[in-house]
Amino acid sequence: MNSNVENLPPHVLRLVYKEVSALAADPPEGIKVYPSEEDITELHTAIEGPEGTPFAGGIFRMRLVLGKDFPAVPPKGYFLTKIFHPNVGHKGEICVNVLKKDWKAELGLRHVLLTIKCLLIHPNPESALNEEAGRLLLEDYAEYESRARLLTEIHAMAGPGGTSVAPQDTNDGPQPKKHAGDPTKRAGPSAAAVPVALGNGASGASTTSSSNSSNSSSNSTAGKKKVRKKRALRRL
Amino acid sequence: MSSSPLSKKRRLSGTETKTESHCSSNSLATDLSHTPANGMAKNGSDAEIDEGLYSRQLYVLGHDAMRRMQNSNVLICGARGLGVEIAKNVILGGVRSVTVQDQGVAEWRDLSSQFYLREEDLGMNRAEVSQPRLAELNNYVPVTSYTGALTEDYLAKFHVVVLTNSSLEEQQQVGDMCHNKGIKLIIADTRGLFGQLFCDFGEEMMVQDTNGEQPLSAMISMITKDNSGVVTCLDEARHGFESGDFVTFTEVQGMTELNGCQPVEIKVLGPYTFSICDTSSFTEYVRGGIVSQVKMPKKIAFKSLSSSMAEPDFLMTDFAKFDRPGQLHLGFQAIHAFQKKHSRLPVPWKEADGEEFLSLAKEINSAQLGSAKLEELDEALIKKVSYIAAGDLAPVNAFIGGLAAQEVMKACTGKFMPILQWMYFDALECLGEEDSMLTEEDCAPRNCRYDGQISVFGTKLQDALAKQCYFLVGAGAIGCELLKNFAMIGLAAGDGEVIVTDMDTIEKSNLNRQFLFRPSDVTKMKSDTAAAAVKQMNPSIRITAHQNRVGPDTERVYDDDFFESLNGVANALDNVDARMYMDRRCVYYRKPLLESGTLGTKGNVQVVIPFLTESYSSSQDPPEKSIPICTLKNFPNAIEHTLQWARDEFEGLFKQPSENAMQYLTDSKFMERTLKLTGAQPVEVLEAVYKCLVTDYPHSWKDCVTWARNHWQCQYNNNIRQLLHNFPPDQLTSSGAPFWSGPKRCPHPLEFSNSNELHIDYIMAAANLFAQTYGVQGSNDRTGVLKILQEVKVPTFTPRSGVKIHVSDQELQSSNSSIDDSRLEELKAQLPTHESSHFKLCPIEFEKDDDTNFHMDFIVAASNLRAENYSIPPADRHKSKLIAGKIIPAIATTTSAVVGLVCLELFKIVQGHKKLESYKNGFMNLALPFFAFSEPIAAPKHKYYEIDWTLWDRFEVTGLQPSGEEMTLRQFLDYFKNEHKLEITMLSQGVSMLYSFFMNAAKLKERLDLPMTEIVTKVSKKKLGKHVKALVFELCCNDLTDQDVEVPYVRYTIR
């Protein structure tokens, strides 16, 4: 048995399906949710950087992974988009109380998403994972803001001066891929995800998703993905 | 591991090997401390504790108690089923010596539970026959048999005496002698489905640890100056104390009077607050501090047997049977009286004997003077005692025997609270539900090995047991005990079969409680060895051993045909995942499941009955809380945090890099996969490979030592300085409070020193592990390492200040991306080619139990160094291994008791009991001692329209249509709409979502006319094996009024 999420008891699975469908149908403001068809316990989201923060204008992709002990154990969140934030580690891991000691099984996924969005507004330098960001936030807010904004512009916006566009196809977002024997399976964050082609606009995004769903492992799409990958990398 | 794992720490003095130990009556003329032990090591004051063998038990009892056990001589009287069960557990436990006394010979009725008697032993002295078999259990414990009488002089040799199968006269006689001489006494007795325990540990018994729990501690946020002072803990976690607990303090700033104070009693005020002594004269509290619980010894005065007989104190085991202890107290006396009068037990299920027995009981009751006198006798109960008193059941012996052995350990060690003083137990629910009388003939002895069981249940159950097919998952501690019970009760002793599977091999630390295994079995398969061992106990049991792990991978073995042939499943697992998996399989195939587990002195039993109870997964314990990453990375405040950090270090240094590098070298698709990763990951992964294969690559042992030294510097000095650069000790938070306060302990960097043992420990372990991963020859030579260390030049480190941004955003943006891209190309070019065959990397799997492999050495050193960084008290190797190795403490006593209860439930299942109240889930904690039995929770009922359903129900849908074609998604949705008036809003298989109302239209269109199995393979990206005859679908549905309704799952058959 691998990650064993398949071992989730039926009543928990049913709960997850319900929550995910509610989220997909009625996402929290400023957050888009892309459930994975292959594995419902993995949720891809895109969070708009809240106004009045150095993240404003950016779209931050975040992956939420429900483990086998969900909902007794909180889901794990990872930013796939680079972000300069005291509570986000360099691999995208998020440290926030709601996802650790304050977690309660009844809180639900919506609450988790809102909390992470809230964390963008109110960082907590006291449980810093990115010490540099934590230090700057405490000592030199202007510097903190400028660094965070810079990273936002580099990584979370579509391109020079351009406005960022999230994938529009809210009903059927990009599908993550499983890489057998993934070398970075412990690294977690984006091991199972393919980068979303941000900035392609609505039509572009839907092409992406249909090419994904039609045949993910075919060689013809692999080449295409490489190109896309390169493009994504160049933006880093 | 060596072939004779037990030989490692034995110590033999010259005098200890003189004669054979198979002595009978007079062999104990010499003092027991000089008893020869025939080439075996022995326990005693001079003996070291064999940590490898006793590892899991040490985590239950601790070293002090273990040492006290090793100084105790134990006499166990009566070598019938109960006596041998107690002896087995006590011998495994590791006392100084065990003597088994019995004057009787093996009879047929003994064979239903005495697992060390065989049919060819009939007529021979039970103690003598059992002695060599018991002696094999533990090379450290000399076992002798004794067939003489229990004289006062003889008893004086022992610290603890256990009476089983003993007459009331003998009990009273021995009871008085023991009480007067300060010998601790336990009386244990089982009669059919009844059990009795009595303890007398003297008038001044000191209990060192009354509950077996680890002392708690909590971090403090405030202490008031008051009478009484109120302590408030940080809201990180509840303190968990109880009023009456004693605590002491460390690290308190300001009110320093409390630091290291004598234990003070507390009163709990809330989950985060409690009050202590008068603090009004103390200094003002400033901040910080840790409060720790202190275990206070407790003195207990036991009454002698004779006075306790008349004024008994009972330990309740089942609150549904509130008045039973008093009744059974009398019932057991009546058994003795009947036996004395007739020189035999009442004939099973003979009404006349029952009547006489009842009047004897009445006589005894009216003669009572003390509180033991009952107002009214439960006549039906007393008669049942008579009907089944002649029975001897393995499961009841296992339960009472497990408890009695734990009491022996308590008597030896003062560890855990003894039973005060009487305990009675019955499992009458095992009898037929209709309360119909069995006949005398049906239960008469047949001179067969099941006579002791037939006298309770009759032949019908015996025949049914023989035909059972059971799947036993696991052959560890619980598995071994289950197999023993199965063999004794005759499960699958006819046409049936027991299939036992376990993929593990036997390790030394198993031998302490997995009693079917011997030192010579180490490295053999558990299932094979266990199956062969129980065949010895009962040659007619039909048993097949497998080596499979249960899970999706073995479903082609454990397929529909396999499960359909079963009568039930018994879990003997050590993890929740596998338990949940088996539970799901049992629910699907609608098979009863016997589930149990132990944790130290705690044990639980759950019985799952199709269409009656909830399933195992319906209710679950909360999983352990994991440690937040920021705590691990920067803010550890407990040894658990540094140990987890050390474990992560181990993986990150000695496993992952070489694993990745090997993949790079051997897997041609590795590069392609890596380049597909998001963000900076491709560079990160390749950098790591490069580091592993080029930068770090050691050519000699010296390189390994140098690497270890530099890594030490990085982790324990540089990184800490960097952190302190970002957050200096006097850093304030935005609210003006000290940043380093509360749960955040301010670290300090360590300076490496050649004369610091811990530093060199670290270098030795890290360098050797590093050498192992590269196939470089390691070394144990500390002097040599010290020499190398003197030559190592450690680069100086200056904490990095934040990178100032000099360039415009635009510039940085473009330069950054080109840096990444060009670095990627650079790496690709510089990495060694796949053909470089001289690379032989060996990722290391963490193995906690081998003391020579440097794994635990590294963990202990790495964790304690980091603990020193943060001024956290270090942990010794034993404690570190428990936490880092996630070891589950275990002891034979709990296992045997728990499994006894499991097998009582098995009796009920085989008889087909249908009432919820007939079954008993059980929970126990032998340390308190505490027992609770409850009827299982009924399967929760759900409803849609007027249809009631539970987790045992399902929709049956035939996927293959008459036309030979398979149902499409459209047809499936229509089927539910038409046949069940249900509109499916979401359809899933496992974690794959096959259909949802919010699917995009194009995809839906494409999918609607595909056959269901095709959709499943497409979405899950997994092929369906040929063994798959049906799929399980979960539905979310709306009813006709558009209301969301809960419905059962779907079994969709495809073959």
pLDDT confidence tier of residue B707, bands split at 50, 70 and 90: very high
Record: contact A89-B626, CB cut-off 8 A: no
Residues in B touching A216 (Cβ below 8 Å): 1021
Measured between CA atoms, how close is A113 to chain B, in angstroms?
18
Task: Give the one of A183, A195, A225 whose C-beta lies nearest to B663's C-beta.
Answer: A183
- Residue B646 CA to residue B884 CA, distance in Å, equals 8
Instruction: Kindly determine whether residue A150 and residue B805, on different chains, have CB atoms separated by under 8 Å.
Output: yes
CATH code of residue B984: 3.10.290.60
Are A93 and A189 spatial neighbours (Cβ–Cβ below 8 Å)? yes
Residue of A nearest to B726 (CA): A135
- E strand or H helix that includes residue B381: helix B379-388
Tokens 């006075």 — which residue? B307
Determine, yes or no, domain membership for B400.
Answer: no
Interface test with B, best of A38, A85, A139 (most B CBs within 10 A): A38
Residues in chain A closer than 8 A to B578 (CB atoms): 1
Tokens of B1019: 């979405």
* pLDDT (tens digit per residue) in B722-772: 999 989 999 888 788 899 988 899 999 999 999 999 999 999 999 999 999
Which one of A9, A190, A209 has the shortest CB-CB distance to B617?
Answer: A9
Residue B47 is predicted with a pLDDT of: 64
Output Rg (C-alpha) for chain B, integer angstroms.
Answer: 33
Distance from CA of A92 to the nearest CA of B (A): 10
**Local structure of A172: helix, strand or coil:** coil
CB contact under 8 A, A13 and B991: yes
Q: How confident is the model at residue A126 (pLDDT cuts 50, 70, 90)?
A: confident
Does B849 share its domain with B762? yes
In a domain, B545, yes or no: no
Better pLDDT: B836 or B290:
B290
- B731 with A138: CB under 8 angstroms? yes
Residues B695 and B782 in one domain: yes
Give DSSP secondary structure letters for B260-311. Answer: TPPPEE-EE-SSSEEE-S--TTSPPP-B--EEEEEPPPEEEPPPPHHHHHHS
Of A7, A127, A195, the CB nearest to B581: A7
Based on the structure, what is the number of domains in chain B? 3
Which residue did the predictor score with more confidence, A221 or B175? B175
| b/e per residue B996-1024 (b: at least 16 CB within 10 A) | bebbbeebbeebeebbbbebbebbbeeee
**Closest-approach residue (CA) in chain A for B630:** A129
Nearest C-alpha of chain A: how many angstroms from B126?
Answer: 47
The ipTM of this complex is 0.74
Answer whether residue B27 shows pLDDT above 60: no
Distances (CA, A) of B89 to B41, B84, B98, B220, B554: 19, 9, 11, 43, 35
Strand order in the sheet with B568-571: B543-546, B497-501, B469-473, B568-571, B593-599, B602-608, B921-925, B930-934
8 Å CB contact between B500 and B516: no
Q: Are B949 and B835 part of one and the same domain?
A: no
- The shares of helix, strand and coil residues in chain A, as percent rounded to the nearest 5, are 40, 10, 50
DSSP H helices in B737-808 = 757-774, 782-791
| Domain encompassing residue B953 | 941-1053
The three-class DSSP label of residue B423 is strand
Same domain, B867 and B972: no
pLDDT digits (tens, 9 = 90+) for B892-911: 999 999 999 999 999 999 99
* Exposed e or buried b per residue across B20-57, where buried means at least 16 C-beta atoms within 10 angstroms of its C-beta: ebebebebbeeebeebbbeebbbbbeebebbbbbbbbb
Task: Tell me if B959 is assigned to some domain.
Answer: yes
Residues of A in contact with B670 (CB under 8 A): 183
Q: Which residues of B touch A9 (CB under 8 A)?
A: 580, 584, 617-618
B150 Cβ partners below 8 Å, 6+ apart?
Answer: B77, B101, B170, B173, B174
Partner-chain contact A147 B802, CB within 8 Å: yes
Mutate which of A32, A78, A131 to disrupt the B interface (most B C-beta within 10 Å)? A131
pLDDT, tens only, B183-226: 999 999 999 999 999 999 999 999 999 999 989 999 999 999 99
Domain end marker among B829, B856, B871: B871
Helix axes B855-869 and B757-774, enclosed angle (nearest 10): 130
Q: Please give, rounded to a whole number of angstroms, the shortest distance from the CA of A111 to a CA of chain B.
A: 19
Is the pLDDT confidence value at B818 over 50?
no
Give the distance from residue A134's alpha carbon to the nearest chain B alpha carbon, in angstroms: 8
Chain A residues touching residue B1049 (CB < 8 angstroms): 10
Asked if A30 and A110 count as a contact pair (C-beta separation under 8 A), the reply is no
Number of H helices, E strands in chain B: 32, 33
Domain boundary among B245, B268, B294: B294
Q: What is the pLDDT of residue B455?
A: 95
- Is B792 within the bounds of a domain? yes
Using a pLDDT cut of 70, give the percent of chain B over it: 93
Q: For residue B743, which residues of chain A lie inside 8 Å, CB to CB?
A: none
Q: Cβ contact (<8 Å) for A127 and B986? A: no
Q: Which of B294, B325, B350 is the last residue of a domain?
A: B294
Assess if residue B886 is contained within a domain: no
B679 contacts on A by Cβ (under 8 Å): 80-82, 92, 155, 190, 195, 236
Test B810 with A93 for CB contact under 8 angstroms: no
Give the mutation candidate from B593, B629, B825, B1035 for the A interface (greatest A CB count, under 10 A): B629
> CA B452 to CA B190: how far, in whole Å?
12
Q: Does residue B333 fall inside a structural domain?
A: no
Q: What is the pLDDT of residue A90?
A: 81
Q: Which of B629, B651, B744 sits opposite A129 (nearest CB)?
A: B629
Same structural domain, B684 and B785: yes
Q: Tell me what pLDDT residue B90 has.
A: 98
CB contact under 8 A, B727 and A232: no
What residues have CB less than 8 Å from B569, skipping those under 6 apart? B470, B471, B472, B473, B582, B585, B586, B591, B592, B593, B594
Cα B1030 to chain center, whole Å?
35
What is d(CA B889, CA B882) in angstroms, rounded to the nearest whole number? 8
At B680 the pLDDT is 66
Q: Which of A20, A184, A203, A227 to mutate to test the interface with B (most CBs of B within 10 A)?
A: A184
Chain B residues with CB under 8 Å of A69 CB are 623
Nearest residue of chain A to residue B732 (CA atoms): A138
- The CA-atom distances, in angstroms, between B385 and each of B238, B342, B344, B431, B743 are 48, 16, 14, 12, 60
Q: pLDDT band at A20, cuts 50/70/90?
A: confident
Write the pLDDT tens digit of every residue in A42-93: 888 999 999 999 999 999 999 988 888 888 888 888 998 889 999 998 888 8
B1009 vs B572: CA distance, rounded Å: 45
Sort out which chain A residues have CB atoms less than 8 A from B732's CB and list them: 138
Interface contact A236-B817, CB threshold 8 A: yes
Q: What is the mean pLDDT of residues B1043-1049?
A: 92
Cβ distance A14 to B667 less than 8 Å, yes or no, reads no
Residue A212 has pLDDT above 80, yes or no: no
Strand order in the sheet with B184-191: B143-146, B97-101, B73-77, B160-163, B184-191, B194-200, B422-426, B314-315
Give per-residue pLDDT as tens, B872-890: 999 999 999 999 999 999 9
Q: Test B679 with A80 for CB contact under 8 angstroms.
A: yes
Beta strands in B646-793 (DSSP E): none
Chain A residue with CA closest to B633: the answer is: A129
CATH number of the domain encompassing residue B659: 1.10.10.2660
In chain B, which residue's Cα lies nearest the Cα of A81? B679
Same domain assignment for residues B757 and B865: yes
Q: Cβ A183–B685 below 8 Å, yes or no? A: yes
Closest residue in A to B661 (Cα) is A183
- B691 domain residue, yes or no: yes
Chain B environment of A235 (Cβ under 8 Å): 817
B902: three-class secondary structure by DSSP: helix
Please check whether residues B649 and B753 belong to one and the same domain.
yes
In this prediction, residue B21 carries a pLDDT of 37
Q: Which of A15, A40, A73, A95 is catalytic?
A: A95
Q: Name every chain B residue with its beta carbon within 8 A of the beta carbon of A4.
A: 577
Distance (Å, whole) CA B176 – CA B183: 10
- Please, what's the b/e burial string for A60-96 (b: 16 or more CB within 10 A of its CB; e: otherwise)? bbbbbbbbbbbbbbbbbbbbbbbbbbbbbbebbbbbb
Q: How far is A89 from chain B (nearest CA, A)?
A: 9
* Range name among A48-52, B23-27, B461-465 with the lowest pLDDT average: B23-27
Answer whether residue B658 is part of any domain: yes
Question: pLDDT tens for residues B234-255?
Answer: 987 789 999 999 999 999 999 9
A129–B237: do the CB atoms touch at under 8 Å?
A: no
Chain A residue with Cα closest to B554 = A1
In chain A, the residue whose alpha carbon lies closest to the alpha carbon of B1037 is A18
